[in-house]
Structure 1
Amino acid sequence: MALTGKLTKKLVENLGPGRHGDGSGLYLVVDPSGARRWIVRVTVKGQKNAKGAPLRTDFGLGGADVVTINQARDRALEYRRMAKQGLNPRFNATRDIPTFEEIAQQVHIDRMPTWKNQKHGQQWINTLRDYAFPKIGRMPIDSIGQPEVLMCLSPIWTDKHETARRLAQRIKTVLDVARSKGFREGENPITAIKDAGVLPKVKAKAKHHKAMRWQDVPEFYAALQGRSAMAAKALKFTCLTGSRTGEVLGMRWEEIDLPARLWTCPAVRMKTGEDHRVPLTDAMMEILEPLMALQSEVVFEGQKRHKSLSNMSMLMLLRRMGVEGVTVHGFRSTFRDWAGEVANVPREVAELSLAHKVGSDVERAYARSDLLDRRRALMDRWSSYVTRQPSDVVRLAGAGGSK
């Protein structure tokens, strides 16, 4: 016969934040985030707390998404029986504790809708698969402390520091979720390791994408003009806009306002997580307008109908052209150098053109404008410079800085 109480399945699913009693010391705790977990409050017979009062303690019974109301009542009854016999449930209860890998896989599934794209989501779980699961994946989640975490981090902390740093963040997330579900207690070992300075400090080396000199861009662009492949059109557009590869290749026609000569790249494809407006120049429009005849959903269509070019298409084109030591992303740096050395525009105009965040959070809160008109003037000058005949560049490049 099932135990009964005040709560029902429907209430468990819909009650708001707070502590909701079922009776006999069993509570449903709903966090502000919406996470739901069971706890039971018992008084251990014959045991006293530091003040000499009866030892009354709360014990987690697991998250309400994995522990049903009847299971929670059964476990609460088991804890009360042990406490009545003078046994502390913390050391005597038997519980079904999930492993680290089980919780990690569930976290990955739960967060799938939040990833910017499938690749990012796969990278998240792959890091744990490669460096955490072989060592702690099968361990009960409540038995993982600092020594176990260090087994994962120490071997790669120096040689693969960026990977190790991301691994630490992801382990911390998994352990935090486990605690919210009632499977762990106490401080997160990642936090303790960081606060204690257990791992050595590693000075991160800035990695710069190899870029073409701005002086060489017009000659390179002229060579691109003689190519009709879609990858060449996408690469020309990338050079002119200073946009990231994913932003350009993911372009869809509904993002473009042709009368206003404006492309709005949506937040989902932006590194900043915010919409970014790109003014379209004459040279950019010359690339886009002929592509409308294809009637594709995407601007730069690949081999499959309504599907974009692959991420490697522009880089492979560079290699086929014999352009070595340069990356597609590097054209952003090329544009930035030109903007500072030749156009001599204010820093915020150049940085906003690249969709970089400028200033502190407070400064950005007050600086609401994206300086579109000033950026349009800058992009017009950049397009004019890039599309000039190479023979004219030496004569005209220096003049650009005085305008």
Structure 2
Amino acid sequence: MALSGKLTKKLVENLGAGRHGDGGGLYLVVDPSGARRWIVRVVVKGQKNKKGGPLRTDYGLGGADVVTLNQARDRALEYRRMAKQGLNPRFNVRQEIPTFEEVAQQVHIDRMPTWKNAKHGQQWINTLRDYAFPKIGRMPIDSIDQPEVMMCLAPIWTEKHETARRLAQRIKTVLDVARSKGFRSGENPVTAIKDANALPKVKAKPKHHKAMHWKDVPAFYADLKTRNAMAAKALMFTCLTGSRTGEVLGLRWEEVDLEARLWTCPAIRMKTGNDHRVPLTDEMLEIIEPLKALKSDYVFEGQKRHKPLSNMAMLMLLRRMNVEGVTVHGFRSTFRDWASEVANAPREVAELSISHRIGSDVERAYARSDLLDKRRVLMEKWSNFVSGSSADVIKLRTSTKS
């Protein structure tokens, strides 16, 4: 039969800052930050304070986000029983060892505010869910050693090496956190496996996004301009700016300065983790300015009001246009090839135009400029080429006809 007290589940979730008693020495402590934890105050038989009176001591029972009200009452009762027998709960309580999955789920929750985006956070836990939980998820966290980790990694180490590498990193993180909380001791088995070279070396094959040749872009872009779909407008803008899919689809009007002809993509959406300024050309502005009339939060609004286009929208458009062997991300490579082969742009200007890091950490520390003016000139030339209004396109058409 469950113990009872003054608190209820609803009160535990909603009480404000302070110490709230449940009875029998059990308290819910709510910090000003909103964090909630359980403590129990007991008097250990035979222990005295400095004045010779009974020594009252507070013991933590865990956070209210992982320890339920009934569990806290059960633990408080166990502590009181030990105290009556003269046993100090700090040294005599039976510690419950959580399972690997329980620790992993809590690590995921604790780190939610640090994820670059929700998708990244979900991928983190999904990898463990698919490859670790079925094999070691129910095992006590302190019983997992090298053989158990190898059970997870070995089957996919060569076939899905990148996934396996990430899985190893995430298992290591979970085990490290468990050790920091006192649930484990000794060396992390993932580290031991790596140091012993227990898994075969896999030579990573570079993966390149399939890209359209720069000579084919003007004709492709002309076809896009005949289409009214929002995906077509987003793809045109992506092609012109050399930006990544997520950067374009997440574009909000507050990031655009029409007067300065500038788009500042915030660090949270950038792979580099830094703000990136994109100079806007006449052709780019011709695409986005009419969309202002929609009064949406996002420049490229999807089917739902004030929500962006789907990540797949532009790729599906390419398929409907029967454009084979090309990805949306590949247009970054297309621009980069054109910048080198046609525009003869300096490497640092071309690389910064597609938000690539250049040089070492030391070089970047001294090179504070993002070369915006030089990039603006390059993007103007690219826009003119793509839209078919540059001398390069006219020359290309003439050579094709002859």
The question of a shared fold, defined as TM-score above 0.5 by the shorter chain, is answered with: yes
Whole-angstrom CA distance in 2 between matches of 1:391 and 1:348:
25
Q: Post-superposition shift, 1:116?
A: 2.3
Whole-angstrom CA distance in 2 between matches of 1:275 and 1:232:
26
Q: 1:397 to 1:121 in 2, by over 3 A?
A: farther
Q: 1:319 to 1:351 in 2, by over 3 A?
A: same
Q: Is the 8 A contact 1:238 1:244 kept in 2?
A: yes
Could you say which residue in structure 2 is the equivalent of 1:364?
Answer: 364
Whole-angstrom CA distance in 2 between matches of 1:384 and 1:10:
61
Could you say which residue in structure 2 is the equivalent of 1:142?
Answer: 142
Whole-angstrom CA distance in 1 between matches of 2:163 and 2:91:
46
Q: 1:284 to 1:312 in 2, by over 3 A?
A: same
Map 1:20-39 onto structure 2 (within 5 A): none
Q: Does 1:77 align with 2:105?
A: no
Output the amino acid matched with 1:360: S
Whole-angstrom CA distance in 2 between matches of 1:339 and 1:72:
71
Map 1:200-349 onto structure 2 (within 5 A): 200-349=200-349
Map 1:31-110 onto structure 2 (within 5 A): 65=63, 77=88, 94-110=94-110
1:314 aligns to what SS in structure 2?
A: helix
Gaps of 5+ in 1: 15-23, 25-60, 82-92, 399-403
1:322 aligns to what SS in structure 2?
A: coil
Whole-angstrom CA distance in 1 between matches of 2:60 and 2:343:
61
**Of the two structures, which has the highest relative contact order with CA contacts closer than 8 Å and spacing of 6 or more?**
1
Q: 1:153 to 1:266 in 2, by over 3 A?
A: same
Map 1:155-166 onto structure 2 (within 5 A): 155-166=155-166
Q: Post-superposition shift, 1:363?
A: 1.4
Output the amino acid matched with 1:128: L
Q: 1:391 to 1:320 in 2, by over 3 A?
A: farther
Q: Is the 8 A contact 2:98 2:141 kept in 1?
A: yes
Q: Post-superposition shift, 1:394?
A: 5.7
Q: Post-superposition shift, 1:389?
A: 5.6
Output the amino acid matched with 2:114: T
Whole-angstrom CA distance in 2 between matches of 1:200 and 1:339:
40
Q: Post-superposition shift, 1:77?
A: 2.8
Deviations along 1:354-382, whole A, 9 cap, x unmatched? 11111111211111111111111110111
Q: Is the 8 A contact 1:218 1:389 kept in 2?
A: no
Output the amino acid matched with 2:356: H
Q: Bigger shift: 112-121 or 130-139?
A: 112-121
Whole-angstrom CA distance in 2 between matches of 1:127 and 1:62:
33
Could you say which residue in structure 1 is the equivalent of 2:153?
Answer: 153
Whole-angstrom CA distance in 1 between matches of 2:250 and 2:185:
44
2:278 aligns to what SS in structure 1?
A: strand
Q: Bigger shift: 65-74 or 346-355?
A: 65-74
Q: Is the 8 A contact 1:212 1:334 kept in 2?
A: yes
Q: Is the 8 A contact 1:103 1:178 kept in 2?
A: yes
Output the amino acid matched with 2:242: G
Output the amino acid matched with 1:314: M
1:343 aligns to what SS in structure 2?
A: coil
1:138 aligns to what SS in structure 2?
A: coil
Aligned residues: 340
Q: 1:394 to 1:137 in 2, by over 3 A?
A: same
Deviations along 1:296-338, whole A, 9 cap, x unmatched? 1110111111111111111111111111110000000000111
Q: Post-superposition shift, 1:396?
A: 6.0
Q: Is the 8 A contact 2:385 2:392 kept in 1?
A: no
Could you say which residue in structure 2 is the equivalent of 1:181?
Answer: 181
2:202 aligns to what SS in structure 1?
A: coil
Whole-angstrom CA distance in 1 between matches of 2:225 and 2:110:
47
Q: Post-superposition shift, 1:117?
A: 2.2
TM-score in terms of structure 1 length: 0.77
Output the amino acid matched with 1:133: F
1:373 aligns to what SS in structure 2?
A: helix
Could you say which residue in structure 2 is the equivalent of 1:90?
Answer: none
